[in-house]
Amino acid sequence: GITPTLAVVLIGDSPASKVYVRHKKKGCEYVGLRSVSHEVSSDITEKALLSLIEDLNKDKTIHGILVQLPLPSHIDEDKVIMAIDPSKDVDGFHPMNVGNLSIGRDGFVSCTPAGIMVLLERTGIDISGKKCVIIGRSNIVGKPIGMLLTRANGTVTMCHSRTKDLQGECRQADILIAAIGKEKFITKDFIKEGAVIIDVGINRLADGTLCGDVDFDDCIEKASFVTPVPKGVGPMTITMLLKNCIKAAKNRAKS
């Protein structure tokens, strides 16, 4: 008798954000979830946005709240993330959920890292004991996927802009995760034979087409698996968002 409901807050008219939100709405419709959209002007005040979030926190018919990032420069992203009720934080960005992840307690896991883990598990890739290299240390992807891979007994190396000999680090990876936002940055020279490559990047080329951080055509013969862009990690991210929303509804029903 409960319909899990996701509230999506979209600030401004960024084309990329609108595409993401549209895919999320379609995902909800496909699996029978209800979605509620709040599309507001980019000049909304921080106070007004926080007030909207508080209203959604109090609304018992709303199980999950997603505020589409990035936000306009005049709004403090940390304040907005902190304002969302952790029990409705289906993006998994609230410090309480991040903390739960870090110590192995139950909570909402960020959707892209969660999707990556399902991709690896469903493909039959054993993470235990494997050398896992992550390029990018963001709070949204790099750090949480590092914790999840460690939890699965992978040996994790986190690379970033200050890493010395990035190519050398990548060439040791059994599992390489690219999340840096540089189009076709990873070529076959960065990978070893048979590596598993997860491409988290989404970059738009001059001709309007999308590509990832990995040069798919260059790497596909050398790697054992490579996720494509689009239609690779992206759909898994949305799937995990829907899963988190259903989990939030179940948790609410139990309480």
Which residues are marked as active site?
A: 24, 68, 91
Neighbour order of strands in the sheet with 225-226: 155-159, 131-135, 175-178, 196-199, 225-226
Whether the Cβ atoms of residue 57 and residue 82 lie closer than 8 Å to each other: no
